[in-house]
Structure 1
Amino acid sequence: MRSVVAASAAGTVFEWYDFFIFAILTSIISRHFYVGLPDAQAFIFTLLTFAVGFIVRPLGALIFGKMGDTKGRKGTFLITITMMGLATVAIGLLPDYAWLETNVGPGAGVIAPILLVLCRILQGFALGGEYGGAVIYVAEHAPASKRGYHTSWIQTSAALGLLAALGVTLLTRSLMGEEAFRDWGWRVPFLVSFGLLVVSLWIRLSLEESPAFKRMQAEGKATKSIYVESFLRWNTLKIVLLALFSIMMAQGVVWYTGNFYTQFFLERLLKLPAIDVNILMIGVTSVSAVLYVFFGWLSDKVGRKPVMAFGMGLMLVAYFPGFHLLTQSANPQLARAQQAAPVVVVADPASCSLQLDLTGGAAQFGRACDILKGVLAN
């Protein structure tokens, strides 16, 4: 059981590392691939590129889930992990906007963000199949009384993948300096993925098919109409809908707000140095990795529902005061200024624009109110 969990989690750590490294470097990637746009707008486009990976994850889950049920977990694991690794290395090798404009010709720079989006599509597609498959593989090996504990190690792999991504970024940043890192060193964490891919493939090749899958094959119980049974029959569709709307939506909000929006908030809004943000997130993520295992173990004792309800309730209670505390701790001058000296802009509303143009820069934001709002926001 230990080797099953270790091998499954190790491969999943690698996949999360690949998926998360993009989010950590969003502010730098925006300057290389969305050149010519206002800073805030370029950042929004980069976040949307990150979001593309989530849009295709359900498709990857559907396709690779069916492959795992019909062809086996092991082969599916090897395909998803290879796809993720190659897409991540490709991001580290992509020509950026400026290089294409200089070496290919005017107008060629637009190819850079297109290639970036394609790589993110492949990453999301691969992770959609990998993560669910790893959880199922471990669950099929685990005894019923310890299923929460054993599968919690797969949840921990997400924290460990984030931890690895933060660690590699921090190390690279520290060794080469911020200027070189922003210029070309940001590619290094993506290229490191090749070595992780080799190790992960070696680990995954040692795995055997799960006992449940072997038994299902031997008894001829493998279904031939997976999608029909899952989505066109109410008794199974209602389980899918309940899992999606009552569990996975909450889990997604908790995880990505806590682990990613917090980073953007600290670095871009509170102006905390990037290295300090990396160190802080490494500490928080290390603590969370232990808590995954604890709450997985607890779910075996008291049930899944109370544990999940506790997490969702804690999120609702803690998020707003939590971000206020972050502001007071990371940028106390800003927190005091907001309380003691609030800024009021007096202007004709007709002269104030919404300062976000996702079409590519037609609005100039040159009126007095726009200029003032831009200065205050920065």
Structure 2
Amino acid sequence: MAATMQGGKPVPASRPMTKEERKVILASSIGTVFEWYDFYLYGTLAVIIGNQFFSALDPASRTIFSLLAFAAGFIVRPFGALVFGRLGDMIGRKYTFLVTILLMGLSTFIVGLLPGYASIGVAAPIILIILRMLQGLALGGEYGGAATYVAEHAPPGKRGFYTSWIQTTATLGLFLSLLVILGVRTAIGETAFAEWGWRIPFLVSILLLGVSVYIRLSMNESPAFVKMKAEGKVSKAPLTESFGQWRNLKIVILALVGLTAGQAVVWYTGQFYALFFLTGALKLDGATANILIAISLVIATPFFVIFGSLSDRIGRKPIIMAGCLLAVLTYFPVFNALTKAVNPDLAAAQAKNQVVVTADPKECSFQFNPTGTSKFTSSCDIAKQVLSSSSVSYENVAGPAGAPATIKIGEQVITSYNAAGLPADELKAKDSALKKAVTDDLKAAGYPAKADPAKMNTFMTIVILVYLVILVTMVYGPIAAMLVEMFPTRIRYTSMSLPYHIGNGWFGGLLPATALAIVAQTGNMYNGLWYPIIIAAVTLVIGTLFVKETKDNDIYAND
């Protein structure tokens, strides 16, 4: 590989990174950690925020809709990539960084002050979603700039190693948010935290904002951008060059479907969906679940750097594809093992006394009510709602046309009812009777109301969670360097940001809500895993066949 040019001077490939370069890369990483902290506070507190801002909805829809509000921040990330990517390629990386951190920090702080639904009605969720979208726009401009900035400072042959530190920032930001939340929860108690204490982590972010702005102001501009600007080669139309010319657009498309889509679903399954699975399907209390995820992050986070460094030697592509392959092959057995480790009573009850809903398929509706206005009145829908509200996994069997739905728990069979046209008193009586019968039979069949920490295999739980995070590090550790290396300097910020944020913002960000909706529809708590498995499989095939290795590319090339 040719000697790299930095500031117009040749740099020997063997030279170590200078003290100044290490300083600006560290500063970039710390600022990015704070930005991820801001973004992931909402995801970590999705259930509590749902109760505060979507309290008019039924419990199942409230959780899914709060996750969709979480996903709103992801949906707009590609637009942030376009806006800030263009600015980064035209005016520089440093000042774009400053704008994104200000937008993110102020939006997060305002969430901590925002009144809930009980105070200002429907305006509360509307303002919340707007703030989430502003956060998404800011993050859309953050990652591409950070990865580009670090890679353009790194010495040749070490880009995977140095950019892998940026890859740790998302996990460290999540860890920091979990740590602050756990500290506040412990200090004031669960009741106070659910009522008002959840606001404290959002308000604390104003302090992190001040530190981040100070750090960003002390940073130097990327040497690659300085050199390009001095030579008069800065792009005047980075969007047109990136997406209006087929030679670049085809690389953008391959980067999306052959890299970032699969990387995104593995990332969100290993960290966010695992947390939701622990607290939802496995009925583990939130504090314990947060501690377990935090421990797994501490243990596995160094693997971002290990795999990033390894990618400098053997290539980026083999490691990313191996992570996708392992996800496809192991997600179902791993999550089954997680159930047995966390809630053995639930696993035993499911094995011994399976729950089966038998119903006329024409009676069954999609179990998702985002507006809170739909009324499910058929015997099938009522039966499924009762089970869903108890977080019970069940199988569906087609029944005879016109017959009322039944719920079989072990050997006990409970008949549901049709609510259409029933007087209010009779409806209330039937509803109470059905719920009591289901609750009694579930208890008799060994189904626990919640996970018992005393029976949990903590060691095995942590091993499983660490494995899931290691898969995250495999797909995520090398990907920043690979995306940087795929595009020329003049349009790098714009070109790499869009596929990254479509992959992570849309395929990844929509994973929790999509997976939970699949579970609500099918009844089986493991069926949500089909979403990440299918996406990871597509990336595995396309990436293996069509994406080229990039580790030896010259990132100072400008065409």
C-alpha separation in 2, matches of 1:41 and 1:295: 39
Residue 71 of structure 1 corresponds to 91
Structure 1 residues 30-41: aligned runs within 5 Å = 30-41=50-61
Pairwise CA distance, 1:375:
2.7
C-alpha separation in 2, matches of 1:35 and 1:258: 29
- Determine whether 1:373 maps to 2:384: yes
Give the aligned residue type for 2:27.
Answer: A
Structure 1 residues 252-291: aligned runs within 5 Å = 252-291=264-303
C-alpha separation in 1, matches of 2:217 and 2:353: 62
C-alpha separation in 2, matches of 1:57 and 1:369: 39
Pairwise CA distance, 1:354:
3.3
- Determine whether 1:213 maps to 2:233: no
Of the three residues 143, 147, 156, the one matched with 1:135 is 147
If the length of structure 2 is used for normalisation, what is the TM-score? 0.65
**2:157 match: secondary structure:** helix
Residue 62 of structure 1 corresponds to 82
Per-residue CA deviation, residues 94-135 of structure 1 (Å, 9 max, x unaligned), is: 0100112xxxxxxxx000000000000000000010111000
Pairwise CA distance, 1:262:
1.0
C-alpha separation in 2, matches of 1:224 and 1:346: 63
Q: Which one has a larger percent strand, Structure 1 or Structure 2?
A: 2
Residue 46 of structure 1 corresponds to 66
**1:344 match: secondary structure:** strand
Structure 1 residues 346 and 213: alpha-carbon distance in aligned structure 2, compared to 1, 3 A threshold: closer
Of the three residues 91, 110, 126, the one matched with 1:90 is 110
Asked whether the equivalents of residues 159 and 288 of structure 1 are also in contact (C-alpha less than 8 Å), the reply is: no
- Determine whether 1:200 maps to 2:212: yes
- Determine whether 1:362 maps to 2:374: yes
Give the aligned residue type for 2:383.
Answer: L
Per-residue CA deviation, residues 40-77 of structure 1 (Å, 9 max, x unaligned), is: 10111111111111111111111111111111111111
Asked whether the equivalents of residues 259 and 281 of structure 1 are also in contact (C-alpha less than 8 Å), the reply is: yes
Structure 1 residues 169-248: aligned runs within 5 Å = 169-248=181-260
Give the aligned residue type for 1:250.
Answer: G
C-alpha separation in 2, matches of 1:63 and 1:267: 37
Greater Rg, structure 1 or structure 2?
Answer: 2
C-alpha separation in 1, matches of 2:97 and 2:297: 26
Residue 490 of structure 2 corresponds to none
C-alpha separation in 2, matches of 1:54 and 1:349: 35
Structure 1 residues 234 and 349: alpha-carbon distance in aligned structure 2, compared to 1, 3 A threshold: closer
Asked whether the equivalents of residues 87 and 120 of structure 1 are also in contact (C-alpha less than 8 Å), the reply is: yes
Count of residue pairs the alignment pairs up: 369
| Identity in percent | 55
Which deviates the most, 161-170 or 334-343?
334-343
Per-residue CA deviation, residues 183-211 of structure 1 (Å, 9 max, x unaligned), is: 00011111111010001111111101011
Which deviates the most, 322-331 or 111-120?
322-331
Asked whether the equivalents of residues 20 and 161 of structure 1 are also in contact (C-alpha less than 8 Å), the reply is: yes
C-alpha separation in 2, matches of 1:55 and 1:173: 30
Which has the higher relative contact order, 1 or 2, with Cα contacts under 8 A spaced 6 or more apart?
A: 2
**1:358 match: secondary structure:** coil
Pairwise CA distance, 1:309:
1.2
Gaps of 5+ in 1: 101-108
Of the three residues 125, 137, 144, the one matched with 2:156 is 144
Per-residue CA deviation, residues 243-270 of structure 1 (Å, 9 max, x unaligned), is: 1111110111011111111111111121
Give the aligned residue type for 2:387.
Answer: L
C-alpha separation in 2, matches of 1:287 and 1:315: 19
Per-residue CA deviation, residues 171-228 of structure 1 (Å, 9 max, x unaligned), is: 1111110000000001111111101000111111110101111100100010112111
Asked whether the equivalents of residues 32 and 96 of structure 1 are also in contact (C-alpha less than 8 Å), the reply is: yes
Residue 314 of structure 1 corresponds to 326
C-alpha separation in 2, matches of 1:327 and 1:97: 35
C-alpha separation in 2, matches of 1:312 and 1:188: 37
C-alpha separation in 2, matches of 1:229 and 1:59: 17
**1:144 match: secondary structure:** coil
Pairwise CA distance, 1:368:
4.4
C-alpha separation in 1, matches of 2:104 and 2:231: 34
Give the aligned residue type for 2:141.
Answer: G
Asked whether the equivalents of residues 104 and 139 of structure 2 are also in contact (C-alpha less than 8 Å), the reply is: yes
**1:275 match: secondary structure:** helix
Which deviates the most, 352-361 or 67-76?
352-361
Asked whether the equivalents of residues 159 and 286 of structure 1 are also in contact (C-alpha less than 8 Å), the reply is: no
- Determine whether 1:298 maps to 2:310: yes
Per-residue CA deviation, residues 110-163 of structure 1 (Å, 9 max, x unaligned), is: 000000000000000000101110000000111120000000000001111011
RMSD, matched Cα: 1.3
Give the aligned residue type for 2:227.
Answer: R
Structure 1 residues 143 and 345: alpha-carbon distance in aligned structure 2, compared to 1, 3 A threshold: same
Per-residue CA deviation, residues 281-328 of structure 1 (Å, 9 max, x unaligned), is: 101111232010000000001011111111111111221111111111
C-alpha separation in 2, matches of 1:82 and 1:169: 22
Pairwise CA distance, 1:23:
0.4
Pairwise CA distance, 1:349:
4.1
C-alpha separation in 1, matches of 2:311 and 2:363: 56
Asked whether the equivalents of residues 35 and 97 of structure 1 are also in contact (C-alpha less than 8 Å), the reply is: yes
Give the aligned residue type for 1:280.
Answer: L
Asked whether the equivalents of residues 57 and 371 of structure 2 are also in contact (C-alpha less than 8 Å), the reply is: no
Give the aligned residue type for 2:330.
Answer: A
